[in-house]
Structure 1
Amino acid sequence: MKPVRCAIYTRKSSDEGLEQAFNSLDAQREACAAYVLSQASEGWAALPDIYDDGGLSGGTLQRPALQRLLARVDAGEVDIIVVYKVDRLTRSLFDFAKLVERLDAASVSFVSVTQSFNTTTSMGRLTLNMLLSFAQFEREVTAERIRDKIAASKAKGMWMGGNPPIGYAPDGRTLKVVEPEAAQVRAVFERYLQLGNVRQVADALARDRITTPQRINGKGKAYGGCAWSRGQIYKLLSNPIYLGLIEHKGARFKGLHPAIIDADLWEQVQARLAQNLQGHRTGGRASSPSLLAGKVVDDDGRPLIAAHATKRVASVGSTAADAAGGGRVRYRYYVTQEAHRGEVPGMRIPARELEALVIARIQEELADPFSLADKAALSVPPHDVLRLHGDKIAPSRQAIAELIEQVKIASSSIDIVCSGGAIAALLGLPAPEAPTRALLHCEARLTRSGRVVRLVNGKGTSALATPDAALVRLVTKAHRWWDELRKGELDTRTLAMREGVQASYLTRVLRLAFLAPDVIEAMLAGRHGAGATVAELTLGSGVDPAWDAQRRALIGAI
């Protein structure tokens, strides 16, 4: 008889009681093992590996033991998965559908020892789907109850757990003051009033060797004892818990805990924070806002956040807004959380190029209002036909950005989702009775040009005309050297010795003096293709002498 390999999987939503010698996971495993043993005559045998997920919700499949089990399923090392109840495997109907598809592909079934059903029949699947629907409903109702309980408890001023703020320690359902830490909190508030700047407060604390308090979390892990960051100081200065309040979803309630900061000091600090924030918003950064902030996602639906980096450089094509602050250029990006934290994999897209590409694509559609209205499923009344034919619709960049609901970045394209209602308002058309959307598609991809990551369109040219300073200098040098050689007074070897370069390098650069005039104009204007880099032109296969070939290779045109 062919042996049937059975893997036992157990799960518990909370970690309460898991420290006991015989806990819920042990009870589930024992019941499953007894069931497998009862089927020994059918060749069933339990695998020795233990797959326990303690303290993990059934609302997600991202559980370590379950993922290890599924890896063995994919490898063909399991025939049956045995669980105590089906909701131990998952409480989500959507996740269950994915699991069944994956198990079917591996010819693996699963058994619940307390619920009798057969997943190989349509009736069995229907019964299981109904069972899982109730399990998912139970999970969602439980979550609602927990949220309601937290809201009601906070309305009564209770502390509902988590890491207590600096200056406090947990005391049942409230907080007690830790005086040494509380004194440090008051000192931070007072220093901020004196210095008026969070960065200066952080620098002053670092000079005085004042660090965050060392603490132990609920799991016994030590943390703290490091330098104060600006983010920590901002969070401390704006935390209403120091005024004796408990905050929940924007509402504030009188807390059961004592205040550390008196009302007068609190109001002064909040007024100063608001004043600095207002000045920050009206400063140089407001001249180059991230138009698509909160609207960009990657192909998997993960949001990309607006971020920036500031470097002291002098490059051709830097705008006045970028160079504000004395020779410092501000580079804006849209990045995934992984890239923002320095992890991999992650996506980092130049913001100016993405915004230019998206704005240009929508402006292209606005040139044909009827086509755009059709894509947004809008009706055009007869009396608006002539008006739309005669109007020149040229809204500002900000007005165009307000049309956008989402920008989805794929590997070789960008999908722009625009609001039908916003388009109707811009075109002066009746608002749609139901929400509609217009989907605009454009070809684009990320590529590396030298050390710079660029966003290029379907023709391979940059979405934003930004001249490459190094490339411009190289073409200028090629023409200067060719002018020297044309005089007939020097040969290439002598000129290379005078310029302090290798003769082979000089000859490779000289080839750029014979580029087509429109190719050179495109380089000077920043409209060249992604392949037109210093490295490619001097170390690559060389420049084709035919101008048409140069246009195709370097500016994507014939």
Structure 2
Amino acid sequence: MFELAEPASPAQVRCAIYTRKSSDVGLERDVNSLDAQREICAAYVKCNEHKGWRELPTRYDDGGYSGGTLDRPALHRLFADVESGEIDAIVFYKIDRLTRSLADFVRLMESMERFGISFVSVTQSFDTSDSMGRMVLNVLITFAQFEREMLSDRIKDKLAVMRRNGLFVSGKPPLGYDKISGRLVVNETEAQIVRGIFSRVGDYPTVFQLMKQLESEGVRTKAFTSKSGRTIGGTPMHAGSIYRLLRNPLYIGFIKEGDEWHRGQHKPIVDREIWDRAQALRAIRSRPRIAWDVSRNLLHGLIWDEFGRPLHTNTGGTGKQRYRYYDSEPKDPRRQKQLSKVRVRADVVEELTFASLSAFFADVTEIRRAMLKLSRFETVDEQLAVQASTVAERLAQSSRDQIRHLYEMIFVRVEVAKAELRLIIKCNRLALLLATGKFNIDRVVMEENSPPQAHLISINANLICAHRDFSLPIKPTQQYGIPDKKLVNLLGRAFEARAFVMANRDKPIADLAKTFKLGPSKFSRLIRLTYLAPDLQAAIIDGNCPNDLTPHKLIYSALPLDWQQQRLMLGFDMLG
């Protein structure tokens, strides 16, 4: 007798159901679109139980999130569970529930392939486990993106028509108005503030002084609460806020659409005569916009600080007194400023660079040192003197464009340090310059097979007056024995927060954190600083701490409870 073997059970496939709805309208209902999507997907998974499919109980629902971005909370949780190996397949009602962007979909596919994850669409019947399914999916995603872009164009056209009809559709209302039923209504209390700003703009020589006066009077920007409950605005008015207010035609009854003005359906709160007077004052006080010219900033793209940060070209000054400078300030205001800011006057550093380079070409001994790095032993001093003299003579007669070409040719970079200016020269380019005498040589000619050697020219530049001599206003490195006020204040605030928590144990940590204007996570990190070793606390107060210890490093370090490990992590073990 032969016994028939039982068929092997299929491998289990753990299916995560993902649902999404673009708007949050209707999410408060007992049964909404997300529930309908999930019910259909769950039924599809159940129909494939014979293949080993099993629905996971975790819900991944994104209500009120656009398909044009991957920044969605439920989607992030889904990716985290995929990386932890808890999911084998992602099931959704339709491909546009996952994403409407072809670029985002390609990134999703690439990231999910290494985990062996399959995408399954219930209504479009495809599976990405084979090449045909992936091709069909790409076609569907392309049309989904096309539909999204068409929808975006229709919305833009609709908003443009509404503006031409005099309706305000630009989000939150400006100071002086409230938005009721989609229309602007005058807020008399705020309108008086706006009228006062327009009437007093001529009483102050600069907007900055007007800003200081408004700040002393407690005038603040328009405040409103977002859908998520977050308060936006309500901050002291800065110069930018005042400039935007003064040039806004909304206050005289117009809606701006591109470069055109259209008569609005709201009531104006400023007389046209007063508004015109304010615009005339703005025009008189405005600074002339300087056309961009690379040769005007000779070291643009070539100058760096000693921390490896490029220095950006910027302008400053008031009235007709304008000056240029190179600035290390990061353009992203959210970036942590752990390093000292470096700002140098552009005209002065350019003058010092030019003078130092001219002196270099007059010093045959220094030029020979640079040539020896290329193993040029056969070049005699007399020959170098003639070549360098030719270059120096031409340099003295060159225009700014020609000088810029020379800098691009021979400089690796120009570095600004605390008490030093460093000119780093490419030795192979220097040899080519001496041999040809040309400041602007074709790149193909310049890129010869020469050893990548560099020569350093160092200039002491720790001078006094920023307007008369070369000045590097860089904050000096912290010395031992000089307390860092920011570190001391941070430590004091940590103990203050701890005492506050101990006095309010019945309240949740999130509510206590709001009192200190911090999130719960950072508030917890702040309290954790009170567990620093006593000798470390004393060292911070006395100023005997490592140079690289900053408030950012202290609060965001994964601080251990063991005191010796704290000393090692924060660098106190190096102090002896």
Counterpart of 1:335, as a letter, is: P
Distance 1:171 1:333, change over 3 A: same
Task: Give the Å deviation of 1:150.
Answer: 0.8
Match of 1:250 among 243, 259, 284: 259
> Match of 2:334?
341
Superposed displacement of residue 253, structure 1? 1.2
Q: What corresponds to 1:73 in structure 2?
A: 82
Q: Using a 3 Å threshold, how does the CA distance of structure 1 residues 218 and 60 change in structure 2: closer, same or farther?
A: closer
CA pair 138-333 structure 1, distance change in 2 beyond 3 A: same
1:476-555 to structure 2, matched below 5 A, reads none
Q: 2:218 aligns with which of 209, 212, 218?
A: 209
1:51·1:66 contact (CA, 8 Å) conserved in 2?
yes
Report sequence identity in percent: 39
Letter aligned with residue 168 of structure 1: Y
Aligned residue among 231, 249, 270 for 2:279? 270
Cα distance between partner residues in 2 of 1:441 and 1:113: 63
The residue aligned with 2:116 is: 107
- The amino acid across from 1:12 in the alignment is K
Q: CA deviation at 1:273?
A: 0.9
Q: Which amino acid aligns with 2:462?
A: A
Instruction: Say whether residues 1:469 and 2:462 are aligned partners.
Output: yes
- Please give the secondary structure, in 1, of the residue aligned with 2:17: strand
Counterpart secondary structure, 1:272? helix
The equivalent residue for 1:332 is 327
2:142 maps to which residue? Answer: 133
Task: In structure 1, give the amino acid aligned to 2:263.
Answer: K
Kindly provide the CA deviation profile for residues 286-314 of structure 1, in whole angstroms up to 9, marking residues without a partner as x. 99987899x99xxxxxxx9968699xxxx
Partner SS for 1:469 = coil
Residue among 166, 171, 191 paired with 2:200: 191
Q: Is the 8 A contact 2:423 2:458 kept in 1?
A: no
CA contact (8 A) 1:350 1:453 kept: no
1:157 corresponds to which residue? 166
Instruction: Please state if 1:93 is matched with 2:102.
Output: yes
Q: With the length of structure 2 as denominator, give the TM-score of the two structures.
A: 0.55
Q: Could you tell me how far apart the structure 2 residues matched to 1:225 and 1:126 are? A: 52
What secondary structure sits across from 1:147 in the alignment?
helix
Q: For residue 259 of structure 1, give the secondary structure of its aligned residue in structure 2.
A: coil
Task: Say if 1:136 and 1:39 are closer, same or farther in 2 by CA, change over 3 A.
Answer: same
- How is 1:402-481 mapped onto 2 (pairs within 5 angstroms)? 467-469=460-462
Secondary structure of 2:27's counterpart equals coil
Residue in 2 aligned with 1:504?
Answer: none
Residues 229 and 292 of structure 1: CA distance in aligned 2, closer, same or farther (over 3 Å): farther
Amino acid in the other structure paired with 1:78: I
Q: Please give the per-residue CA displacement for 1:219-278, whole angstroms capped at 9, x wherever unaligned.
A: 544444432222211111111111111112232211111111111001110111111113
| Unmatched tracts of structure 1, length 5 or more | 297-303, 311-320, 361-390, 402-415, 417-439, 471-534, 536-558
Amino acid at match of 2:149: E
What's the CA shift string for 1:40-89, capped at 9, x where partnerless? 23222222322222222222223232233223223322100011101111
When residues 34 and 246 of structure 1 are mapped into structure 2, their CA distance, relative to the original with a 3 A threshold, is: same
Q: 1:457 to 1:309 in 2, by over 3 A?
A: farther
Matched residue SS, 1:6:
strand
SS in 2 for 1:7: strand
Q: What CA deviation, in whole Å up to 9, does each residue of 1:412-464 have, x standing for no partner? A: xxxx9xxxxxxxxxxxxxxxxxxxxxxx999669x995699999788897999
Q: Counterparts of 1:451 and 1:262 in 2: how far apart (Å)?
A: 56
Note the 1:326-405 alignment, pairs <5 A.
331-333=326-328, 335-337=330-332, 340-343=333-336, 396-397=400-401
1:291–1:468 CA distance, 2 compared to 1 (3 A): closer
Report SS of the residue matched to 1:52. Answer: strand
Matches of 2:235 and 2:455, distance apart in 1: 44
Q: Is the 8 A contact 2:70 2:104 kept in 1?
A: yes
Q: Which residue of 2 aligns with 1:59?
A: 68
Give the corresponding residue for 1:229: 238
Change (3 A) 1:129 1:223: closer
The residue type equivalent to 1:239 in the other structure is N
Find the residue that maps to 1:142 and give its secondary structure.
helix
2:180 maps to a residue whose letter is D
Distance 1:289 1:333, change over 3 A: farther
Q: SS at 2:120's partner residue?
A: strand
User: Structure 1 residues 325 and 242 mapped into 2: Cα distance closer, same or farther (>3 Å)?
Assistant: closer
Residues 457 and 142 of structure 1, relative CA distance in 2, 3 Å threshold: farther
Partners of 2:422 and 2:73 in 1: CA distance: 38
Does the CA-based 8 Å contact 1:159-1:174 persist in structure 2?
A: yes
Q: Counterparts of 1:88 and 1:76 in 2: how far apart (Å)?
A: 23
Q: Distance in 1 between matches of 2:102 and 2:338?
A: 30
Secondary structure of residue in 1 paired with 2:69: coil
Letter in 1 for 2:334: R
Distance 1:276 1:398 in 2: 35
1:153 maps to amino acid = M
Q: Confirm or deny that 1:8 pairs with 2:3.
A: no
Please tell me the residue identity of whatever aligns with 1:53: D
Distance 2:75 2:266 in 1: 42
Question: Does the 8 A contact of 1:332 with 1:350 survive in 2?
Answer: yes
Task: Quote the Cα distance in structure 1 between the aligned partners of 2:421 and 2:113.
Answer: 43
Secondary structure class of the residue paired with 1:9: strand
Deviates more, 1:42-51 or 1:163-172: 42-51
C-alpha separation between the residues in 2 aligned to 1:345 and 1:85? 47
The residue identity in structure 1 corresponding to 2:87 is V
Q: C-alpha separation between the residues in 1 aligned to 2:16 and 2:165?
A: 48
Aligned to 1:36, which of 45, 49, 70? 45
* Structure-2 separation of matches of 1:455 and 1:18: 64
| Shift in CA distance, 50/133, structure 1 to aligned 2, threshold 3 Å | same
Matched to 1:341, the amino acid is R
Q: Which segment is superposed worse, 70-79 or 195-204?
A: 70-79
C-alpha separation in 2, matches of 1:147 and 1:398: 48
Return closer, same or farther for 1:150/1:18 CA change in 2, 3 Å cut-off: same
* Gap change, CA 1:9 and 1:98, over 3 Å in 2: same
User: Counterpart of 1:335 in 2: which secondary structure?
Assistant: coil
Query: Structure 1 residues 121, 44: closer, same or farther in 2, change over 3 A?
Result: closer
Equivalent position amino acid for 1:108 in 2: I
Structure-2 residue corresponding to 1:530: none
Other-structure match for 2:566: none
